[in-house]
Structure 1
Amino acid sequence: MPKVSADYMEQRREQILSGARRCFAEFGYEGATVSHLEAAIGLSRGAIFHHFADKDALFLELARRDTEAMLDTIAADGFVQVMRNLLASQEDYSWLGTRLEVARRVRTDPGFREQWADHQKLVDEAATSRLAIQREQGRVRTDVSERVMFTYLDMVLDGLISHLATGGDTEIAGEVLDFVEHSVRTQDG
């Protein structure tokens, strides 16, 4: 068997993840059968599952990557920017399928909930840390804890996702995000 380069293997993984993202977005986790995955990715099940142990591992990798991107945005620009980015990428709702599926599986699958807890903890810590820094700089309110502000923003994110998933007005959503950002800021922030 000929050896393949690390670059080739990485390109193949990216091809698999890209197709799987489209498939999960279109069919949901349960509906993303192996046949659907093969068609979306353009590879056989053997090629797909050579790189990922199973469909669950494939989905978790997508969710992990989404979490990492979210953490980077939170660290650089804050939690509201995560929502603004989602709103700005209206033409690409592939993230939506992942986020909705994570919420469903956390609610219904104890094994997944346990696996996901570590990812969620990273988001919680990054967001509350960012809020603490913003508080020290006098940019966010001091009359509520960072934990309360994070929970508020996380609930707004879930509401935004639901709003977008059901075809809600995106123009008004931007104005709502302005209101949300103003609601956590100080007068000077």
Structure 2
Amino acid sequence: MPKVSEEHLRTRRAEILAAAARCFARAGFHRTTIQDIAKESGLSAGLIYRYFADKDAMVVAIADQWHDRQTRQLHLDDPGDDRTPNALGRVAAGYLDLLRSLADPAERERVQLGVQIWAEALRAPEVHTVARQGVDLPRGVITGLVHAAQERGDLPPALPADGLARVFIAVYQGLALQTAWDPELDNAAFVDAVRGLLETLTPGFTESGT
């Protein structure tokens, strides 16, 4: 029997996750069945179980994918030398781009599913763990960048670094929630307001990261 390539396995796994995400966004986690996902993907339920033990495992994998993508968008995978003003600027510029991306009509399904994942994190320990990772990674990097900026004198020393990181994470989460339930949300105005806050907080900030 020929050996299945790693590329084939990755492709099949991605197909299943994409189908599951569409089903979850459309009907919710609890109303979606493995048979629904099988029909959406064009695969058998038995094949799907070879890749994922249950729906929670799919949710965890979907969340992991999103976190990897957001890490790249925010430049958290390579923020550069955190002792330089440019490092914080690059992350801040990536953050504004991340906020803007929520306005893309193609992102609406993902945003709606993301809100459901946060709710599922209250129920399923595995989902809670991966959801926390999506918060704790950017929180840790941003906290370090804020500390470095305080040491340079670019930010007020009394400003709680971890508190500031959590505020900006909460801003993203709040925009995602509002995007999910309010089709008339003015994303551009929201992002302009956040950019104004960043400029007030950090004199000289520009979206080019300088």
The TM-score with structure 1 as length reference comes to 0.83
Unaligned regions of 5+ residues in structure 1, if any? Answer: none
Partners of 2:74 and 2:98 within 8 A in 1: yes
Partners of 2:146 and 2:155 within 8 A in 1: yes
Q: Which amino acid aligns with 2:9?
A: M
Deviation sequence 1:53-84 (CA, Å, 0-9, x none): 22111110000111111111122543332211
Q: Which amino acid aligns with 1:10?
A: R
Once the two structures are TM-superposed, the CA of residue 134 in structure 1 deviates from its matched residue by: 5.9
1:93 aligns with 2:108: yes
Aligned counterpart for 1:81 among listed residues 71, 90, 97: 97
Residue 208 of structure 2 is matched in structure 1 by none
Q: Secondary structure at 1:30's aligned position in 2?
A: coil
Change in Cα spacing, 1:115 to 1:160, as seen in structure 2 (3 Å) is closer
1:117-132 matches, cutoff 5 A: 117-132=132-147
Output the CA distance in 1 between the equivalents of 2:161 and 2:46.
47
1:180 aligns with 2:194: yes
Residue 45 of structure 2 is matched in structure 1 by 45
Change in Cα spacing, 1:167 to 1:118, as seen in structure 2 (3 Å) is closer
Once the two structures are TM-superposed, the CA of residue 100 in structure 1 deviates from its matched residue by: 0.8
Residue 32 of structure 2 is matched in structure 1 by 32
1:158 aligns with 2:169: no
Q: Secondary structure at 2:127's aligned position in 1?
A: helix
Output the CA distance in 2 between the equivalents of 1:136 and 1:85.
32
Output the CA distance in 1 between the equivalents of 2:22 and 2:69.
18
Unaligned regions of 5+ residues in structure 2, if any? Answer: 76-89, 206-210
Output the CA distance in 2 between the equivalents of 1:61 and 1:155.
23
Percent identical among aligned pairs is 22
Once the two structures are TM-superposed, the CA of residue 135 in structure 1 deviates from its matched residue by: 5.8
Residue 167 of structure 1 is matched in structure 2 by 182
Greater fraction helix: 1
